[in-house]
Structure 1
Amino acid sequence: MSLLLPLTLALLVSAQTPASTPFQLPNGETVEVTADHVVYEPDRQRVTAQGHTQVRTAGALLRADALTYEPGARKVSATGNVMFVSGEFAAVAEAVTLDLESNEAIAQGGLFMQKRNVTPEALATAQTPQQLREMGETPVLMRGTRIQRTDTHTFEVDGIAFTPCACGKDAPDWRIEAQRASVITGERAILTWPVIYIHSVPVFALPWLYLPLSDRRTGLLMPRPGISSLNGFSIEQPLFITLGRSYDVTLSPGYYTGASKETHDLGNGTLREEPRYQGIRGPRLVTEFRYVPSVNTRGRATLGFLYDLQPLRDPRTGAFFRQGNAPQGEALTGARGLRGEASWQHIQEMGHGFSNRVEASLVSDGVFTRDLVADVVARENQYLRSTASLSHRGEDHFAGLEVALRQDIRWGYSFFREDRVPAAADPLRPVLQGPRTFQKLPALTLSLPERRLGERWVVGMRMEFSRLSPLRSRFGDEGEDGRFEASGLQTVTGPDGAPQGLPDPAQANGRFDASDREARDRLDLFPRLSTSFGWGPYARVTPTVALRQDLYAGEVSGRTAQRGYPLADLQVDSELARNFVRGETTFRHTLMPSVRLRYVPGVWGGVPPPGASPGRPPQRYDEIDAALPVGPEGEDEGFLHAVVEVTQSLQRKQGLAVTEPLRLQLGQGFDLTRYAPTWRGAGRQEAPVLRDTFGRLLARVGIFGAGILARYDTRSTRVSQLSADFSVDNGRGDALYARYDDLLAVGSDRLRRGIDTLVGPSSESRARAQLLTAGGRLTLGIGLGLRYEALVQPLVKEQSPLTQQTLGVSYGPDCGCWRLEGVATLRRGQNLPDFGFNFSVASFGALGS
């Protein structure tokens, strides 16, 4: 509104200005005044411009029905359809009175708007306030009873009503009201005693609030309070810090009060009220760093620290350490201390064929995730995997360097520090040895794409060198059975044939013996030769011959070993197709039968055994070691496998859009080893010929989608896998979905086959795993939304099969600039659900849990 000052100076020059007159001011600025007529009243010391009044400068425009200037009072009043445009800032009002000395404006019905996706030239063409309101998008709406403009884009506002969100052409149904505010349009707003209103209902209040008014402005984001049965009440206050156009940091300090106490049964009838074994209590700080320095590089890194005040726990059992190591003793009160988490995701195209990628996650101890996250699915993770790779891809080769780390989080052992029993529990303070998880440190891969050899054949080569070793040791120290157990027991078969646990003295004894895994270097060579040709008009034939040769070196024992075998593969496939035209729609039905044979006549050498003694069965570390079937003595065996498949597909084409409403795949696996000569004779003569029979059906019609995969083990005469999913989604927020998985724990065909085989071993296991997930989302057309999800484990007998239920009720406008959701989660074993809420506001943050 400060543009009214040049206008008043211009009007003092003459009371007889024509309808459109330019004025040159002393500061050099040109002001053009346009009106139907201008009147100067000397006796009243007043200048009036009436009728389509317009004041224009190089960068701003003011429109009103009438404008009055009083020189004595140094006030200017604009009335009737007042509109002001300056760049992407616009304002409308019924009437405005401006004090030229203080630069204060008293507005009636004033609405101030920050615009985007519209040019200032287009805004200047608006003839009415309604046209100005509807142009472009309005990410900031501001009302106020008294507004003082202290700079070009700076305002001090009393009685502010404020909406920092793009709400389209409709009036916003939410706002922030405050007693006073300092606003810099496009940058920030500082509000005193702000209250958030939805319609006319106050939902949240603060004494002071800093709001960034763009996507990249330094300032406080919405606080995030929460409450759960795991960690009690928590509060976090994020601070967003901009570090230029391509970098930013979010600091989120917070505090967790810890859950209420629960009753622990310590045995012998001893019950004691103590803190929960799981959960946290204390201050926490999480830092998130994001960067996008170029179109070829982007990444995100997080680092979090927590000082946990809860009592110390035994990493083996998850229970508290107790005085004198007595089962019924008092829990030690020492704090768990500093804990943390870190992650890094990075992608970069370096040019000239080079690229690198990082996907890393790390926690300070194995139960960190389970202490913070109450969701059942997230708590079931047993490993965290991190990878980093550098690769070069050329026209005739691919070369890569990869490092892969796995963190075992099945138990509570620390990752960076040594775990010891506290002196109050055991004065000797023995070390608690955790698992020595094997890592890939590193893996070098060189792959030469297939090249022509003559007119028909093509040849390719893949070479990989990998070092598999624990991070801080050269052997795993797993003990007699080759598996680490926190209990220190090994599982053996008892006299009655049932499994039983016996002490494993070789586990964590610090010596390389028994079935300990040692750090191993391996060179894998895999050359292959293939061709493809048509068999008349009926089929395509693709034969391949390959050789896998592995060389091993043990870093502790010094033993070397090698394993190699030839591999022949033959695939014959065909396709029958027919088109059906219905008006503008074309349906295409295809029938695609295929037969695939894979033959390994025998194996020379073998995978190295574990421990210091060479007389034990081979010990396999990864998918390359386990690429072949295993014989009765644990040795690798040759094989002849076959898979017969028939795939049918129905495609629908309308215009340029092509969809696949239906796909059906049926197949049968065969183990024909007994009918093919192998170097080791009849080692697998008793193996069944028929393996898994499988079928897969996928369907999608309109809003409906469904899929089912079934595998039937012919030897055990049981379904080895049944997976089905169903969904109804209208694309407007309403959906129903369900998924069911039923798996045999061991032996499912393609789930557990080697990478060089076509079928897996026949299953004799009777152990099953089942999981049902079902839920839905519903929008009621008035901004109200509902969602529900349930997890069910049908095989659970001792407890309720209903593992977890989540119910969410939300409300928000159609424009999506904010949404409030209340969430209740009830888990198995809880009497009352955990409650939380999420309140998200577009452009400047969210609060909730």
Structure 2
Amino acid sequence: MTFLAPVALTLLVSAQIPLATQVELPTGEVVELAADYVIYESDILTARGHCELRSGPNVLRADEVTYSEATQVATATGNVMFVSGMMAAIADDVRVDLRSNEASVKGGLFMQKKGVTPEALQAAKTPEELRKLGETPVLMSGTRIRRTGEAAFSVDGLAFTPCQCGPGEPGWRVEAKEANVVMGERAILTWPVVYVRSVPVFALPWLYLPLAERRTGLLIPRPSNSGLNGFALDVPVFVTLGESYDLTFTPGYYTGGGDVDGPFKDAEGKPIRETRPNGVKGPRLLTEFRYVPSDRTRGRATLGFLYDLRPRLDPITWGFFRVYDRSNPDAPVQTQEIVQDRRGLRGEASWQHTQDLGDGWHDRVDAYFVSDGFYTRDLTADVLVQNYSYLRSTAVVYQRQDDRYLGLDVSLRQDLRYPFRFFRPNTIPAEATPNNVAVDPHGPTTFQRLPGVTLALPDRPLFGGLATGGLQVEYSRLSPLRSAYADDGRDGTFAPYGLWRPASAPLNFNYFALPKDDLEGNGLFDATEREARDRVSLRSRVSTSYGLGTWARLTPSVGVRQDVAVGEFSGRTYQRGYPLADLVLDSQLARTFTDKDTLYRHTLSPSVALRYVPGGWGRGFIATRPEGSGTVPLLYDELDAAVPLQPDGSVRGFLHAVVAVDQTLRVRKGPTNREPLRLRVGQGFDLSRHAPVAGRDTVRGGVLRDTFARLSASAGVLTAGGLVRMDPTTGDITQLGADFTIDNGRGNALYARYDDLLAVKQLSLDRGLDPFAQGPDFVRRGVDMFVGDAPRPLPSHTDQPDPSPTERAQALTVGTRIKLGFGLGLRYEALVQPLYKDLNSQESQPLAQQTFGVSYGPACDCWRIEGVMILRRNQSPEFAGINLSVAGFGSFGSGG
């Protein structure tokens, strides 16, 4: 039922006041009237005391009801109550003129109800009892109502609150001078004004509203303002396509952010203001299509286009293209003038879909696409979102049965690190080049999984139940979209300006003086590069378990991994395999405590796990070293890096061990089970040097690997966790993480998260060092390893002021949300990088970004409006926008 339905129904039924205690109305309907006192005198019917008028599902109660046959005017006064189905109304008095079809209401309040039966509403005896029953999604009032058609009405002085505000007076409302209503279709409001506690905060000259579930119409406009994109206005229009499909068109316009200091300076040395490089300006249209044709299928697709009026960015430098001054032909220089080549049409698309196909088959799609690498960061001011490096899309069709899993999947990635345009030329304008010749720069190449097929047979009984075994077979194809090889040069990575950092180059060497990577983008497949690759990988495992009395259990297992791969461009084939042997010894001690109706169970579970790989056969893909002689293994994915590899791509054997103790505390009270405490403490070991394994003489570092402890706890409104890993050989904390949240469930919260990781320096990465060569075990180890390789110093770092190839990467996120009693909300969040120093002054500047939010919303929380301010490092405070969230409006404003 729509939110104006009570107005119309009250008019119709109020116009059917009976002429007698039981009589046929002018409409032909027979109604029943009951009261303490009824009199008919001089063509006037008067009923007093507990008046009750019933007509089918409609019930009208009042202290007094009168009807004049001569004037055809009916009145109901004193505690007026009206119920029709799930609609209820109360008023001080109602006056209806049947000749003009006009009704005047005093002290009226109309309510749409839910969560209660019509019979319960009809049984209510007082207005207060009626207001408290069930939930009230819609509250409204009107001073004058006139019927203009069979289902059309004109309402003066309309005021409504289309949300579940409870039985009390709402903290907000919408008022309109006049409303033209067609029941079940639409309402046109003239000069609607939003009031918050009697204070007008927003007004429109005209507003079209749908009045039924899934009715086509205009939704709530969404204004916003930010320093990045200026003022913006989105106006969504909802279009229903039946019960299971709908569309939302959202046209909008961005005015563009203000000017900023440019790289050029005036005669006084002050920066010259120019157009902001980031952000958007121009019209936008976003289309959203939703479908739920059955309880097994649902999905959502979006398609957005933006015509950006800002000048294009250089995909290499991230700055504007500049016009060259050629007055001196021998030495043309770049000028301040910006090449006015608009960015033009930009866009986005997404598709999320899930479906149960029956017989255990399912499919799922999570696909996202943007037209260029900077599209996302140009639309948002948040520094975390702006630093997303990749956009990943996946699709999978699979069958999951008790005895098998079979799936077909694809995975695509878009590189968002540079403002390259995808599937469009990235031609540099001729006037932006010294020689006045337009060029097309080579962008980064990403490998896509097209496709992957997985068959997994989970563990099942073997040999009459003496053991269990499982098998997994996977085929995967990794390839760039537009070629059969990456063409990424000597170092195997895309680098701005086509430069690369040889291992022999000092780390503090001027980047722009580095040698040119003559192999990058040359259109040839070189020995240092990766080509498209097809691989079949098989993993089998057989295990059994033996009880050692009542105190321990021993679980041995053996397995084999075998990979076979072929290069699509060269046709070269590779195969690599190795056996794995595991041995796990574990035990558990438990004690139970009882306190009244609460049961506490504490468990202590020590364990020792060993994994042995004696070596392997064959080798994987390799590439020529970018300088010098020799080869290096090529790693495409996590399975290629599953075990340590020799330079020729063969497997280096290992013997790993992890000793750990787990403690848990579980609490059961009635049907509720909680785990308020879990602690795991352990130590990793690499015993390879003491085992008869292939290549053991190449193992470096001590026997001990990371010592670790992981804690999670919860108590009442507090949840917390922590993780620490330490390399006992070097004494370095390789990883430290902690987080906590205090949330009372009523909108007040305090939260923080801290992460500290031993990471590879950017200069070392530029030189080609594996980013996982340093850090904690969980980073360094492969999927078939228990612990990672030991960190080791690199010879090329020994002549540096700081010879370590690593640095600490730290980040602290802390924030709070406070909801005050009168609807005001406050939000603060800070991103802190404790070790950050200004590159020029070397001053400590730990605060990377601060976010301030001030919001207001009614007690029902059906909507909330928030203004957001962002302060980023070395920048002025920026008004990041206005957020308007709408919920609980029923059909109004929800798009169905």
TM-score (norm 2): 0.89
Residue deviations 1:20-50 (CA, integer Å, cap 9, x gap): 43x34686532223333443333xx433333
> 5 Å matches for 1:239-278?
239-266=237-264, 271-278=271-278
CA–CA separation in structure 1 for the residues paired with 2:346 and 2:505: 46
CA–CA separation in structure 1 for the residues paired with 2:48 and 2:661: 84
Corresponding residue for residue 491 of structure 1: 501
* Residue 733 of structure 2 is aligned to residue 725 of structure 1: no
* Residue 710 of structure 2 is aligned to residue 696 of structure 1: yes
Corresponding residue for residue 521 of structure 1: 534
Counting matched residue pairs gives 834
Residue deviations 1:572-627 (CA, integer Å, cap 9, x gap): 11101112223333322211111111111012111112479996322110001111
Residue deviations 1:93-127 (CA, integer Å, cap 9, x gap): 22222111221101122222222222222222222
Q: Is the 8 A contact 2:624 2:632 kept in 1?
A: no
Moved more, 150-159 or 774-783: 150-159
Partner letter of residue 669 of structure 2?
Q
CA–CA separation in structure 1 for the residues paired with 2:213 and 2:870: 32
Partner letter of residue 641 of structure 1?
H
> 5 Å matches for 1:416-495?
416-426=423-433, 427-454=436-463, 455-494=465-504
Partner letter of residue 674 of structure 1?
R
Task: Indicate the RMSD between aligned Cα atoms, in angstroms.
Answer: 2.4
Corresponding residue for residue 591 of structure 2: 578
* Residue 330 of structure 2 is aligned to residue 330 of structure 1: no
Corresponding residue for residue 652 of structure 2: 637
CA–CA separation in structure 1 for the residues paired with 2:420 and 2:89: 62
Corresponding residue for residue 54 of structure 2: 56
Corresponding residue for residue 97 of structure 2: 99
Corresponding residue for residue 72 of structure 2: 74
Q: Is the 8 A contact 2:677 2:714 kept in 1?
A: yes
> 5 Å matches for 1:613-628?
616-628=631-643
CA–CA separation in structure 1 for the residues paired with 2:563 and 2:374: 38
Corresponding residue for residue 806 of structure 1: 851
Q: 1:118 to 1:650 in 2, by over 3 A?
A: closer
Q: Which among 750, 755, 759 is matched to residue 741 of structure 1?
A: 755
Q: Give the secondary-structure state (helix, strand or coil) at the position aligned to 1:553.
A: strand
* Residue 87 of structure 2 is aligned to residue 89 of structure 1: yes
Moved more, 243-252 or 546-555: 243-252
Q: Which among 711, 719, 728 is matched to residue 705 of structure 1?
A: 719
TM-score (norm 1): 0.94
Q: Which among 560, 564, 567 is matched to residue 554 of structure 1?
A: 567
Q: Is the 8 A contact 1:164 1:213 kept in 2?
A: no
Q: Is the 8 A contact 1:627 1:755 kept in 2?
A: yes
Corresponding residue for residue 7 of structure 2: none
Q: 1:270 to 1:492 in 2, by over 3 A?
A: farther
Partner letter of residue 826 of structure 1?
L
Q: 1:370 to 1:602 in 2, by over 3 A?
A: same
Q: Is the 8 A contact 1:610 1:616 kept in 2?
A: yes
Residue deviations 1:351-408 (CA, integer Å, cap 9, x gap): 0111001111111000111111110111111001111001112332211100000111
Corresponding residue for residue 357 of structure 2: 350
Moved more, 739-748 or 486-495: 486-495
Q: Give the secondary-structure state (helix, strand or coil) at the position aligned to 2:369.
A: strand
CA–CA separation in structure 2 for the residues paired with 1:113 and 1:595: 66
Q: Which among 649, 652, 666 is matched to residue 664 of structure 2?
A: 649
Q: Give the secondary-structure state (helix, strand or coil) at the position aligned to 2:829.
A: strand
> 5 Å matches for 1:306-317?
306-317=306-317
Corresponding residue for residue 14 of structure 1: none
Q: Which among 408, 427, 431 is matched to residue 401 of structure 1?
A: 408
* Residue 593 of structure 2 is aligned to residue 596 of structure 1: no
Q: After TM superposition, give the deviation of residue 186 of structure 1 in Å.
A: 6.7
Partner letter of residue 725 of structure 1?
D
Q: 1:244 to 1:58 in 2, by over 3 A?
A: same
Higher relative contact order (CA 8 A, sep 6+): 2
Corresponding residue for residue 40 of structure 1: 40
CA–CA separation in structure 1 for the residues paired with 2:265 and 2:531: 41
User: How high is the sequence identity, in percent, across the aligned residues?
Assistant: 55
Q: After TM superposition, give the deviation of residue 817 of structure 1 in Å.
A: 2.5
Q: 1:752 to 1:703 in 2, by over 3 A?
A: same
Partner letter of residue 432 of structure 2?
A
Q: Give the secondary-structure state (helix, strand or coil) at the position aligned to 1:355.
A: strand
Q: After TM superposition, give the deviation of residue 681 of structure 1 in Å.
A: 4.8
Q: Give the secondary-structure state (helix, strand or coil) at the position aligned to 2:806.
A: coil
Q: Is the 8 A contact 2:643 2:651 kept in 1?
A: yes
Q: Give the secondary-structure state (helix, strand or coil) at the position aligned to 2:324.
A: helix
CA–CA separation in structure 1 for the residues paired with 2:690 and 2:748: 56
Corresponding residue for residue 504 of structure 1: 517
Moved more, 154-163 or 349-358: 154-163
Q: Is the 8 A contact 2:632 2:647 kept in 1?
A: no
Corresponding residue for residue 768 of structure 1: 808
Corresponding residue for residue 763 of structure 2: none
> 5 Å matches for 1:228-239?
228-239=226-237
CA–CA separation in structure 2 for the residues paired with 1:835 and 1:474: 44
Q: Is the 8 A contact 2:381 2:880 kept in 1?
A: no
Residue deviations 1:723-782 (CA, integer Å, cap 9, x gap): 011222222222211111000113310123100000011124421210001111223333
Corresponding residue for residue 819 of structure 1: 864
Q: Give the secondary-structure state (helix, strand or coil) at the position aligned to 1:371.
A: helix
Q: 1:523 to 1:834 in 2, by over 3 A?
A: same
Corresponding residue for residue 282 of structure 1: 282
CA–CA separation in structure 1 for the residues paired with 2:456 and 2:236: 46
Partner letter of residue 371 of structure 1?
D
Moved more, 490-499 or 799-808: 490-499
Moved more, 471-480 or 181-190: 181-190
Corresponding residue for residue 751 of structure 1: 779
Corresponding residue for residue 767 of structure 2: none
Corresponding residue for residue 222 of structure 1: 220
CA–CA separation in structure 2 for the residues paired with 1:60 and 1:586: 54
Q: Is the 8 A contact 1:694 1:711 kept in 2?
A: yes
Corresponding residue for residue 8 of structure 2: none
Corresponding residue for residue 881 of structure 2: 836
Q: Is the 8 A contact 1:715 1:762 kept in 2?
A: no
Residue deviations 1:631-673 (CA, integer Å, cap 9, x gap): 4666531111111101112222222322222222111111111
Q: Is the 8 A contact 2:735 2:775 kept in 1?
A: no
Partner letter of residue 416 of structure 2?
I
CA–CA separation in structure 2 for the residues paired with 1:574 and 1:515: 50
CA–CA separation in structure 2 for the residues paired with 1:578 and 1:461: 38
Q: After TM superposition, give the deviation of residue 508 of structure 1 in Å.
A: 0.6
Partner letter of residue 544 of structure 2?
T
Q: After TM superposition, give the deviation of residue 413 of structure 1 in Å.
A: 1.0
Partner letter of residue 852 of structure 2?
L
Q: Give the secondary-structure state (helix, strand or coil) at the position aligned to 2:865.
A: strand
Q: 1:338 to 1:95 in 2, by over 3 A?
A: same
Moved more, 470-479 or 726-735: 726-735
Q: Is the 8 A contact 2:619 2:649 kept in 1?
A: no
CA–CA separation in structure 2 for the residues paired with 1:215 and 1:777: 34
Q: Give the secondary-structure state (helix, strand or coil) at the position aligned to 1:190.
A: strand
Q: Is the 8 A contact 2:836 2:845 kept in 1?
A: yes
Q: 1:834 to 1:24 in 2, by over 3 A?
A: closer
Q: 1:151 to 1:58 in 2, by over 3 A?
A: farther
CA–CA separation in structure 2 for the residues paired with 1:173 and 1:608: 68
Partner letter of residue 559 of structure 1?
R
Q: Give the secondary-structure state (helix, strand or coil) at the position aligned to 2:263.
A: strand
Residue deviations 1:146-179 (CA, integer Å, cap 9, x gap): 1124567653211112211121111112111111
Q: Give the secondary-structure state (helix, strand or coil) at the position aligned to 1:369.
A: helix
Partner letter of residue 435 of structure 1?
P
Q: Give the secondary-structure state (helix, strand or coil) at the position aligned to 1:503.
A: coil
Partner letter of residue 831 of structure 1?
S
